[in-house]
Amino acid sequence: MFENLSERLSGVFDRLTKQGALSEDDVKTALREVRVALLEADVSLPVARDFVKAVQDKATGQAVTKSVTPGQQVVKIVHDALIDVLKGEGEPGALKIDNPPAPILMVGLQGGGKTTTTAKLAKRLKEKEGKRVLMASLDVNRPAAMEQLAILGQQIGVDTLPIVKGEDPVAITLRAKTQAGLGGYDVYMLDTAGRLSIDEELMAQVEAVRDVVNPRETLLVVDGLTGQDAVHTAENFDERIGITGVVLTRMDGDGRGGAALSMRAVTGKPIKFVGLGEKMDALETFEPERIAGRILG
């Protein structure tokens, strides 16, 4: 369905005579194609526009090396610029979980993959970093969601806070904190309630939970296939709750990954992990190179 960007660009450059440096016109022509490729990859229009402008300034006048065609050269410049935007500061996938027990707040809309990601991340912390993890579900309106976390916990061999009927999210949070301290856990993960869309009640609830534990990390879990919606969700959560990172789920799907670029450009928050399937092992550290390759097609 998508034409490869390199092929497209070589078409554009076929018409150009050999020259020593990329002229402004060459670059403009090529970047028109790049812009289309970004939009097809679901990068938002303002982000695509700003990105292309930055690349244009950088590429114009660059010497073309003999070993590559001007088209390949522009693709390389675009690729490097994509990585610059996608890369957050710090080690990808690293979490601040010193000073045990460290609270990690998991936030996001219903269906984004929050509960699954909570369990995947707990498994990863346990297996890769040898951490003792306690998970607690705060989704008091959806008993099935609480059960789901308990079942996943059993599957992966990670403890979950016992469910007590009638407790509110703040009470559960305080119990998780106490239990994590007494039980010698390194980390306790709070799987907050999800809603179909952002509403005041949800935000107030998450805010109250945040204030009683002062989380070391607040990770927003969003469906990477939802493009612009994912970015809006991130903006909203960041404004109200303050997030420290993003987990993009469903990156195993057909999407081209443009949401990742928009997410970074708009929120400035690091993408820490990507979800690559429903299985408990399908969580990987975010790799800018992989996403850049996918966006360019």
Question: Which residue ranges make up the annotated binding site for GTP?
Answer: 108-115, 191-195, 249-252
- Shortest distance (Å) from residue 67 CB to ligand GDP: 39
Specify whether the backbone of 55 is left (phi greater than 0), alpha (psi in -120 to 50) or beta. Answer: alpha
Measured CA to CA, the distance from residue 31 to residue 36 in angstroms comes to: 9
Measured CA to CA, the distance from residue 100 to residue 122 in angstroms comes to: 15
Q: Are 259 and 134 in contact (CB under 8 A)?
A: no
Q: Does 114 bind ligand GDP (CB under 6 A)?
A: yes
Q: Does 236 bind ligand GDP (CB under 6 A)?
A: no
Q: Tell me the window of 13-21, 64-72, 113-121, 231-239 that interacts with ligand GDP (CB under 6 A).
A: 113-121
Binding mask 72-111 for ligand GDP (x = CB under 6 A): ------------------------------------x-xx
Q: Does 272 bind ligand GDP (CB under 6 A)?
A: no
Q: Which DSSP string corresponds to 218-264?
A: EEEEEEGGGTHHHHHHHHHHHHHT--SEEEEE-TTSS--SHHHHHHH
Residue number, 93 or 275, with CB nearest to ligand GDP = 275
Choosing from 70, 71, 93, 113, the residue that interacts with ligand GDP (CB under 6 A) is 113
Residue number, 115 or 218, with CB nearest to ligand GDP = 115
Q: SS3 of 215, please?
A: coil
Whether residue 92 has a cis bond before it, omega within 30° of 0: no
Q: Does 250 bind ligand GDP (CB under 6 A)?
A: yes
Nearest Cα neighbor of 35 from 19, 17, 18, 54 is 54
Interface residues with ligand GDP (CB under 6 A)? 108, 110-116, 194, 249-250, 252, 275-278, 282
